[in-house]
């Protein structure tokens, strides 16, 4: 069982919809991450939060908007997505955001129609 | 920055065969090195790690040794099982985690 919980597991949305992905961890980790993974490819980093502050934005389009309400929760708000945004979205956490290993959730499989 | 190159698959083996997946890294500093495994329909799980030269990480029968002289972190398992079928990612963490392309391993009974 993963210690990082992501909801929903699957999401289908139209290009005009607004939806949110949610991620929760209770390991006391202070760094949280969003990754995007296309089929048969490695995960690509999108955002990093360190101590609840956005520390890295990998030039992600503004139709993706991250939010970190507290140290245990991480959201990704989606608006006006494109079909090419369809992918597996993975949340991860680590103790401090340095060289400590990442713990991943099982992801949300997003399909944009 | 750092980068990782790993042997691309797919790799198909019979049960009890020996598995090696090659991984080399480039880094400006002294990164920590990791192997992650992704089973079908799941996220990535940390398989093993090494934080300095000559460290050996091991877990579930898998091993990898941090070789600074060859900048390598090859993954090995002596006798694979069908349940080891998955995608394996080598990763290097200098200040940011960089993944290799991933190697799909299929073990046949």
Q: How many CB atoms lie within 10 A of CB B46?
A: 16
Under the banding of pLDDT at 50, 70 and 90, the label for residue A97 is: low
Between B72 and B27, the more confident residue is: B72
B49 CB near a chain A CB, below 8 Å?
yes
Q: What is the pLDDT of residues B35-82, one digit of tens each?
A: 999 999 899 999 999 999 999 999 999 999 999 999 999 999 999 999
Under the banding of pLDDT at 50, 70 and 90, the label for residue B28 is: confident
- Quickly count helices (H) and strands (E) in chain B: 0, 12
Between A91-95, A98-102, B6-10, B102-106, the lowest mean confidence (pLDDT) is in A98-102
Q: Which residues in chain A have Cβ-Cβ distances shorter than 8 Å to B93?
A: 99
Q: Residue A61 and residue A46: Cα distance in Å, rounded?
A: 10
Q: Where does residue B78 rank: exposed (0-12), middle (13-18), buried (19+ CB within 10 A)?
A: exposed
3-state class (DSSP) for residue B75: strand
Of A42, A99, A103, the CB nearest to B101: A42
Q: What is the pLDDT of residue A2?
A: 61
Under the banding of pLDDT at 50, 70 and 90, the label for residue B26 is: very high
Under the banding of pLDDT at 50, 70 and 90, the label for residue A99 is: confident
Q: What is the pLDDT of residue A20?
A: 97
User: Does residue B99 register a pLDDT over 60?
Assistant: yes
A40 CB near a chain B CB, below 8 Å?
yes
Q: What is the pLDDT of residues A32-80, one digit of tens each?
A: 999 999 998 999 999 999 999 999 899 999 999 999 999 999 999 999 9
B45 CB near a chain A CB, below 8 Å?
yes
Q: Which residues in chain B have Cβ-Cβ distances shorter than 8 Å to A6?
A: 43
């Amino acid at each position: 069982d993963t210690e990082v919980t992501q909801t929903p597991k699957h999401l289908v949305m139209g290009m005009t919809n607004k939806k949110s992905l949610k991620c929760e961890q209770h390991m006391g980790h202070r760094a949280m991450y969003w990754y995007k993974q296309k089929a048969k490819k490695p995960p690509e980093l999108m955002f990093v939060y360190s101590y609840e502050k956005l520390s890295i934005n990998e030039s992600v389009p503004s139709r993706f908007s991250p939010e970190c309400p507290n140290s245990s929760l991480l959201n990704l708000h989606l608006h006006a997505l494109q079909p090419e945004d369809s992918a597996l979205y993975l949340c991860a956490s680590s103790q401090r955001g340095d060289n400590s290993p990442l713990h991943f959730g099982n992801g949300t499989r997003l399909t944009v129609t | 920055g750092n980068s990782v190159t790993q042997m691309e698959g797919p790799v198909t083996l019979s049960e009890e065969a020996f598995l090696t997946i090659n991984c080399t890294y480039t880094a400006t500093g002294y990164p920590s090195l990791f192997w992650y495994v992704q089973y079908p329909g799941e996220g990535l799980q940390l398989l093993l790690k090494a934080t300095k030269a000559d460290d050996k990480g091991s877990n579930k029968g898998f091993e990898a040794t941090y070789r600074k002289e060859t900048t390598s972190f090859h993954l090995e398992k002596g006798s694979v099982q069908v349940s080891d079928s998955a995608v394996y990612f080598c990763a290097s963490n200098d200040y940011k985690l960089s993944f290799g392309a991933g190697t799909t391993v299929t073990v046949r009974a």
